[in-house]
């Protein structure tokens, strides 16, 4: 692993791509900032739409491009949250508690700088933790065989389904739906056709890309179109005239940033929990340890630093299960998984042993992205604060064009546009009925690997799988036995964390 | 007699149970049988196992939702739609369907122009000259970048390919 790590430097610096990488990360950050700054449009949607573009780049260029969009989008969401009390993304809802009061006091610039510095510091620190952790975990992952992999994948989709938002029953039905959609086409073991209903287009299975764009981008577009609002927000802000964050103010925030970084990094490693919960837990922890908790919600800089550091610290650690085991922890990492697969890099134990230097080079790109994020974020802040005023009637049709072009270019098949439309309408209905699509997407993505590993296990076990597991694969047996306990514990913990978020939101609504 | 409250979770659970049964009934006809080689199956495991598990999951989770979450108060309400909201969404879906239909036959630039122009106008509050300009410039730019820089195929204008020098622009 150490060799792979050291080999990643020449790969990154000597490839002749270095300037291109810097350029695409910067471009990705700007796209992310732009979309994130638009209330109603999320980072997830931006990533789904630009995903196909990354397919036509070198992996060491395309994936950092998506990472740029990801990082830019999470911070971009805090811009309207602070300035106009409209969270650009779910991760910045907790930022709306203290951001708008600070803006009313004429401290909008100060609040945005607090958000930027906290985000960058937390993100950078958690990325270093990710780089340090990924090697040892990958070494352990290399020891696992098909039975252990099947057990881990099964455990993962159960955890993701039980820790996703909404009702357990609905999440489990979504899980079954994801497995069913993945089943359409051919089985991964003997390539036998199944559930194609004699429709030719279904023989190759349901394509991942139109499904991802359909489920993540089209529902948001339709929700934005429900009301023909003339523009996102009307605001007259001039950040250039406002005072900046002082060094003394920044030093006072260091404990809060550190605490939230630890919270975000830890939450990032739990599949299915994500940035939104991390931000609320970070905020609650900062409020509880403050000497002046009564100032929270009325314009406290710590109230900005805490959620922003926590939600950005989630970014790196979510990649640990993805890269070592091939398990995406949330929807954004599911999109990144799609990018890895399209580039011929199948995340999992073999990826780290066979192409570890590329993985480490991508992780190093995350550190570069943080530095660029600091520079670009600082100088473009006044510009992106104007984005909230862009008219929806211009923006929505342009977003649709990108979604359709992106779905088409991968296979050049017009049928993919109908898949896109179908999943878009399906996703919209699910969203209106408060279904979380995360279990569906995760199950769809993980199902082929799970089924393959499951089939191999049955084959290895011959006539008596149970005895085989107990006698020759005790770790796999142990994972299977402990699956209900682990799932239940994580379900309770995630419920508790969500309750913190709900109670904070409702108390904030009451006080305002 | 107590009337049944038709909640989204109730409907979801019934659909899930029915779908589970449907998959189970369709397994014999929708799952291809493995070839027999020298009297032995070419597939090491029975191809009906996974579809069977999935049908059971739909059935059992449907039952769980029916019995335990049917009346759940927190996340179990029908979405409220005004007539205007419904109309806006339906019109947009029709626009999107039309866009899918014309994407290849009219080419990317022309179909995109039509979508941007009509959808922007439908959404209202647009400057007609400005939106026409955007509807031309944006698709041409996207087409130019995708085709000439990224070397990705997008359907060109079917009747007449337009070029500036070596660059295909429509």
Residues B59-105: pLDDT tens digits?
Answer: 999 999 999 887 776 667 788 878 888 999 999 999 999 999 999 88
Write out chain A residues lying below 8 Å of B23, CB-based.
180, 195
Work out the minimum CA distance from B161 to partner chain A, whole angstroms: 18
Enclosing H/E stretch for A494: helix A474-511
- Nearest by Cα to A126 from A258, A245, A304: A258
Question: Using CB atoms, which residue from B51, B103, B152 is nearest to A414?
Answer: B103
User: Hunting for tokens 């609002």 — which residue is that?
Assistant: A229
Q: What is the pLDDT of residue A137?
A: 81
Write out chain B residues lying below 8 Å of A167, CB-based.
9, 65, 69, 72, 75-76
DSSP string across A65-129: HHHHHHHHHHHHTHHHHHHHS--SSGGGTGGGTTHHHHHHTT-HHHHHHHHHHHHHHHHHHHHHH
ipTM of the complex: 0.89
Q: What is the pLDDT of residue A233?
A: 53
Q: Is B65 near chain A, with CB under 8 Å?
A: yes
Q: Is A184 near chain B, with CB under 8 Å?
A: no
Q: Does A412 sit within 8 Å of B92, measured CB to CB?
A: no
Question: Using CB atoms, which residue from B34, B62, B123 is nearest to A228?
Answer: B123
Rounded CA separation A407/A212 (Å)? 9
Measured N-to-C along each axis, helices A218-226 and A208-216 cross at an angle, to the nearest 10 degrees, of 20
Q: With bands split at pLDDT 50, 70 and 90, how would you rate the model's confidence at A43?
A: confident
Instruction: Name the burial class of residue A179, with classes exposed (0-12), middle (13-18) and buried (19+) by CB atoms within 10 angstroms of its CB.
Output: buried
Q: Is B88 near chain A, with CB under 8 Å?
A: yes
Into how many domains does chain A fold?
1
Question: Using CB atoms, which residue from B75, B89, B142 is nearest to A222?
Answer: B89
What is the rounded radius of gyration, in angstroms, for the C-alpha atoms of chain A?
22
- Nearest by Cα to A372 from A7, A19, A114, A129: A19
Write out chain A residues lying below 8 Å of B45, CB-based.
189, 455, 458-459
Write out chain A residues lying below 8 Å of B99, CB-based.
400, 404, 417
Q: Is A197 near chain B, with CB under 8 Å?
A: yes
Return the residue of B nearest to A228 by Cα: B123
Task: Tell me the per-residue pLDDT of A284-313, one tens digit each, with 9 for 90 and over.
Answer: 888 888 888 888 888 889 999 999 999 889
- Nearest by Cα to A116 from A75, A73, A68: A75
Q: What is the pLDDT of residue A98?
A: 87
Rounded CA separation A127/A125 (Å)? 5
3-class DSSP assignment, residue A167: coil
Structural domain span for residue A251: 2-511
DSSP string across A30-72: HHHHHHHHSTT--HHHHHHHHHHHHHTS-HHHHHHHHHHHHHH
Rounded CA separation A223/A315 (Å)? 27
Provide the greatest CA pair distance for chain B: 80
Task: Tell me the per-residue pLDDT of A233-267, one tens digit each, with 9 for 90 and over.
Answer: 555 666 666 778 888 989 999 999 999 999 989 88
């Amino acid at each position: 692993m150490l060799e792979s790590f050291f080999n990643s430097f020449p790969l990154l610096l000597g490839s002749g791509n270095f300037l291109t990488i810097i350029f695409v990360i910067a471009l990705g950050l700007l796209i992310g900032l732009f979309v994130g700054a638009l209330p109603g449009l999320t980072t997830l949607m931006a990533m789904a739409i630009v995903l196909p573009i990354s397919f036509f780049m070198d992996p060491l260029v395309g994936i950092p491009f998506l990472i740029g969009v990801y990082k830019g989008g999470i911070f971009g969401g805090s811009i309207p949250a602070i300035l106009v009390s409209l969270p650009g993304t779910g991760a910045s809802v907790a930022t709306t508690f203290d951001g708008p009061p600070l803006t009313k006091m004429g401290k909008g610039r100060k609040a945005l700088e607090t958000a930027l510095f906290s985000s960058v510091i937390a993100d950078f620190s958690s990325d270093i933790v990710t780089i340090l952790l990924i090697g040892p975990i990958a070494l352990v992952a290399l020891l696992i065989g098909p039975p252990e992999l099947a057990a881990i994948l099964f455990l993962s989709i159960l955890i993701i389904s039980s820790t996703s938002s909404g009702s357990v029953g609905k999440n489990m039905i979504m899980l079954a739906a994801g497995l069913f959609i993945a089943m359409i086409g051919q089985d991964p073991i003997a390539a036998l056709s199944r559930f194609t209903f004699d429709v030719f287009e279904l023989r190759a299975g349901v394509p991942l890309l139109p499904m991802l764009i359909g489920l993540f981008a089209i529902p948001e577009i339709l929700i934005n179109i429900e009301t023909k609002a003339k523009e996102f927000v009307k605001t007259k802000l001039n950040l250039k005239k406002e005072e900046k964050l002082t060094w003394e103010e920044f030093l006072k925030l260091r404990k809060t940033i550190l605490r939230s970084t630890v919270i975000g990094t830890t939450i990032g490693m739990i599949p299915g929990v994500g940035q939104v919960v991390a931000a609320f837990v970070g905020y609650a922890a900062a409020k509880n340890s403050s000497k002046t908790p009564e100032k929270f919600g009325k314009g406290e800089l710590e109230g900005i630093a805490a959620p922003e550091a926590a939600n950005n610290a989630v970014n790196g650690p979510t990649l640990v299960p993805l890269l070592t085991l091939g398990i995406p922890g949330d929807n954004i990492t599911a999109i990144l998984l799609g990018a890895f697969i399209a580039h011929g890099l199948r995340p999992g134990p073999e990826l780290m042993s066979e192409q570890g230097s590329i993985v480490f080079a991508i992780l190093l790109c995350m550190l570069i992205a943080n530095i660029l994020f600091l520079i670009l974020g600082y100088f473009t802040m006044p510009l992106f604060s104007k984005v909230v005023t862009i008219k929806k009637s211009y923006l929505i049709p342009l977003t649709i064009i990108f979604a359709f072009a992106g779905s088409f270019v991968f296979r050049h098949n017009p049928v993919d546009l109908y898949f896109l439309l179908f999943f878009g309408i399906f996703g919209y209905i699910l969203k209106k009925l408060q279904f979380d699509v995360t279990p569906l997407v995760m199950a769809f993505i993980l199902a082929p690997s799970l089924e393959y590993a499951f089939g191999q296990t049955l084959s290895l076990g011959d006539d008596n799988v149970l005895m085989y597991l107990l006698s020759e694969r005790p770790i796999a047996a142990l994972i299977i036995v402990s699956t209900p306990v682990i799932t239940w514990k994580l379900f309770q913990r995630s419920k508790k964390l969500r309750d913190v978020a709900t109670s904070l939101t409702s108390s904030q609504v009451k006080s305002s | 007699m107590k009337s049944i409250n038709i909640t989204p979770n109730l409907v979801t659970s019934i659909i899930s149970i029915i779908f589970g049964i449907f998959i189970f009934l369709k397994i014999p006809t929708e799952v291809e049988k493995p070839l027999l080689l020298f009297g032995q199956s070419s597939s090491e495991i029975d191809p009906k196992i996974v579809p069977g598990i999935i049908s059971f999951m739909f059935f059992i989770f449907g039952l769980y939702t029916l019995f335990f979450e049917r009346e759940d108060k927190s996340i179990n309400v029908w979405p409220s739609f005004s007539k205007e909201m419904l109309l806006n969404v339906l019109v947009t879906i029709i626009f999107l369907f039309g866009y899918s239909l014309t994407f290849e036959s009219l080419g990317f630039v022309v179909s995109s122009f039509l979508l941007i122009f009509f959808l922007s106008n439908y959404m209202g509050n647009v400057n007609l000259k400005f939106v026409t300009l955007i509807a031309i410039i944006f698709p041409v730019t996207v087409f130019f970048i995708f085709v000439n820089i990224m070397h990705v195929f997008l359907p060109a204008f079917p009747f007449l390919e337009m070029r500036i020098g070596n660059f295909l622009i429509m």
